[in-house]
Amino acid sequence: MASYKGHRINPDRFEKGQLKLYIFVVPLALITGLPIVFIFFHAFKPMEELFAFPPKFITVHPTLDNFSKLLKASRNAGIPLSKYVFNSILITIAVMAFSLAFTTMAAFSLSKLKYKGRNVLLKINEIAIMFVAVAVMIPRYLIVNKIGIIDSYWAQILPLIPLPVALFLVKQFVDQVPDSLIEAAYVDGAGDFTVYLKVILPLIKPAIATAAILVFQQVWTNLEASNYYINDDGLKSLAFYMNTLTSTSTTNTVAGQGIAAAASLILFLPNLILFCLLQKNVMNTMAHSGIK
């Protein structure tokens, strides 16, 4: 095992020198992980534990009543829960496909192709990172209304495709691809699209996985599109329906809290599952993002 100044790098067994790492890492892991654990426990709490004082972190008597109330409330609505699930899945898949395709192509273009105005486009993307959704809400609505896609799936897809943070991340990763490798592909007769498809994409898979998580999180829990661009309830997303359901349940405080807890878990699970599936690539992105 390699060593540096008497200390082993990545030892196979526990060493005293690792204690200082545990002192910092363990508290951070607990702070990060406890809210996730609470979401799971909270969704299965019976009504007496939902309003227990002092609040209980761990569920003593777990129950499925909150999920039963959620399903009952959805059955009483005019549109079945399955329709909202279908809408969210369709919108999410479409946005992720378009967003990742355009993001990776733009990252390759801005990083490796030389043309006039490239630096200006980079600055525009960097400036766009600073704008929150509320700041561009009115311009977005005007554009969506102008092109005539109000009350359609496209109104919930097109505004969410651009993600400046994802482009910035992927572009930084493409910067690390050796120019000599790309030049060799050009010498062999490859065009720009072939280089993008055969050289760039295989080398930036970790960055793509990280961008996929960022795009998914933006779309899956998005309320803006259904709130402002959609009047037909049959086209709205699951996140919007869950938010409406929990907010209209506040007249019955206990039922409303139980439904809100169950809805929070349902909306959170896909994020957790996606991260678990892609965590290796995400960690590789973080490990190599600073290497030049």
6: left (phi over 0), alpha (psi -120 to 50) or beta: left
Asked if residues 9 and 3 have their Cβ atoms less than 8 Å apart, the reply is yes
How many structural domains is the chain composed of?
1
pLDDT of 2 reads: 46
Asked if residues 212 and 274 have their Cβ atoms less than 8 Å apart, the reply is yes
**Residue 52: inside a domain:** no
pLDDT of 254 reads: 55
pTM over 0.85: no
How far apart CA 149 and CA 140 sit, in angstroms, is 12
How far apart CA 290 and CA 194 sit, in angstroms, is 27
Residue linked to tokens 């005007």 = 142
pLDDT of 271 reads: 84
**Residue 89: inside a domain:** yes
List, in sequence order, every beta strand (DSSP E) within the chain. Answer: 3-4, 7-8
Distances (CA, A) of 15 to 86, 184, 288: 51, 46, 26
**Residue 34: inside a domain:** no
pLDDT digits (tens, 9 = 90+) for 249-260: 444 555 577 778
pLDDT of 201 reads: 92
pLDDT of 3 reads: 47
Q: How far is CA 211 from the centre of its chain?
A: 8
3-state secondary structure of 221: coil
Asked if residues 255 and 72 have their Cβ atoms less than 8 Å apart, the reply is no
pLDDT of 247 reads: 62
pLDDT digits (tens, 9 = 90+) for 74-119: 777 677 888 888 999 999 999 999 999 999 999 999 999 888 988 9
The CATH number for 224's domain is: 1.10.3720.10
How far apart CA 13 and CA 230 sit, in angstroms, is 57
How far apart CA 260 and CA 73 sit, in angstroms, is 12
pLDDT of 285 reads: 54
**Residue 8: inside a domain:** no
**Residue 56: inside a domain:** no
3-state secondary structure of 8: strand
Q: Which of 206, 219, 209 is nearest to 270 (CA)?
A: 219
pLDDT 10s digit of each residue in the chain, 292 long?
Answer: 444 444 555 556 666 767 777 788 888 878 888 888 888 888 888 888 877 778 778 888 888 888 888 877 777 767 788 888 899 999 999 999 999 999 999 999 999 988 898 899 999 998 988 887 788 888 889 999 999 999 999 999 999 999 999 999 999 889 988 889 899 999 988 889 999 999 999 988 888 988 999 999 889 988 888 889 998 888 999 888 888 776 654 445 555 777 788 888 888 888 888 888 877 666 555 445 444 4
pLDDT of 251 reads: 42
Record the tokens describing residue 188, joined without a space: 């062999």
Task: Provide the residue range defining the domain that includes 90.
Answer: 69-288
How far apart CA 113 and CA 103 sit, in angstroms, is 15
Give the strand pairing for 7-8 and 3-4. antiparallel
**Residue 77: inside a domain:** yes
pLDDT of 292 reads: 45
pLDDT of 11 reads: 59
pLDDT of 25 reads: 80
**Residue 166: inside a domain:** yes
How far apart CA 180 and CA 156 sit, in angstroms, is 41
**Residue 217: inside a domain:** yes
Burial (0-12, 13-18, 19+ Cβ within 10 Å), 50: buried
